[in-house]
Chain A
């Protein structure tokens, strides 16, 4: 049992960068993202038997993060929607105009993600950022595939509208 726990810990350590990426996609700022990862890891470690060896550990962790995040959002109740400012300018000016353009685009994308309804943001994060299949994502969210794809389509459209500042989606 201890050996099993050790190897899972090692695999979880290797997963940390992706868990943090998923956290960034769901939450409003990097600190909140790492808090979410920490909460989810603590839950996972208390419940290692809940993971079936041979199944995807990343999907199991994403589910725990998703649940922890939904708890967090609910407990926040009707708190005002103030978007925490990004660390603007941190990477700006590294190598000129092209880098700046990419930086700004990334900021617009992250802002658009934050504005999405929770359910669309989850669909986009799981499929388009973390690379889960439609089926895997739908299973995780306990929704039919058709619901998933329509959330995905709406989320995509909202993000695309931010990519083209003129709003030029034909």
Chain B
């Protein structure tokens, strides 16, 4: 079977419907020449990101910031604002600190509260002493791709996906419920178990563009093996039921 370069590029860009992506993934496994080609297309993507992503961590010139501030409201730049990173960009490694551990403990309590408060469908449920994703969140984690257009402004949306050192696949998520919640869930044999959840205030009914909660990102850094999935890896993971 002949697979065109354009199809392979669409695969790398995460643009194929899942059935076709799965078919291509299988073809790639069976054909080293195809795999090499896909790797070439990926390399170009990654090289482009590397060539331009450093802009994201540079300080934004005052003349641009000034345009957006009323004269009297001159907020101090939050670290997140000056360092917004696209969801699919590799992030700078951060160390998992004791502070984050404390925050994690606090946030788990917060997470349980959120679960209890949000009727009718709780975001989180407790099963045999474990905090797990509720039905709606499970549905999103199981089916939604970060690149899907409906993800951008959904009430619940996914962020980065990656394979953890433990072998499980984990995904970050954000929800608008209860003033904003974000967290990280990993797929075990039966369900998505919540590893961290935290309230993310100040969302003003919208999402910080590509922003991510630092507590959640610390958790990502602590768990991740390698790099976050790119669009095609994410799609392949879904096709494989996140195993």
Contact = CB atoms under 8 A, between A and B. Distances in A.
B153 interface: yes
B43 A14 contact: no
B9 A17 contact: no
A144 to B, nearest CB: 14
Q: Per DSSP, are chain A's interface residues mostly helix, strand or loop, or mixed? A: helix
Contact of B56 (A9, A18, A102, A131): A18
Given A11-B206, A11-B209, A127-B13, A16 B60 contact: yes
B6 interface: yes
A149 B209 contact: no
A159 B67 contact: no
Nearest to A128: B48
B96 interface: no
Interface residues of A, number: 53
Contacts of B23: none
Interface residues of B, number: 52
Chain A CB within 10 Å, residue with most, of B15, B52, B64: B52
A61 to B, nearest CB: 10
A73 interface: no
A129 interface: yes
A129 B49 contact: yes
Interface of B: 5-6, 9-10, 13, 15, 40-41, 43-45, 47-58, 60-61, 63-65, 67-70, 73, 80-84, 86-88, 147, 149, 152-153, 204-206, 208-211
Interface of A: 6-7, 9-18, 20-21, 24-25, 34, 37-38, 41-42, 45, 54-58, 102, 105-107, 109-110, 113, 124, 127-131, 133-136, 149-150, 152-153, 156, 159-160, 163, 169
The 9 closest A-B pairs by CB, nearest first: A109-B51, A106-B51, A21-B55, A17-B56, A9-B68, A16-B60, A17-B84, A13-B68, A14-B209
23 contacts: A6-B73, A7-B204, A7-B206, A10-B68, A13-B65, A13-B69, A16-B65, A17-B83, A17-B84, A18-B210, A41-B64, A54-B153, A57-B209, A109-B47, A109-B50, A110-B52, A133-B147, A136-B149, A156-B9, A159-B47, A160-B43, A163-B43, A163-B47
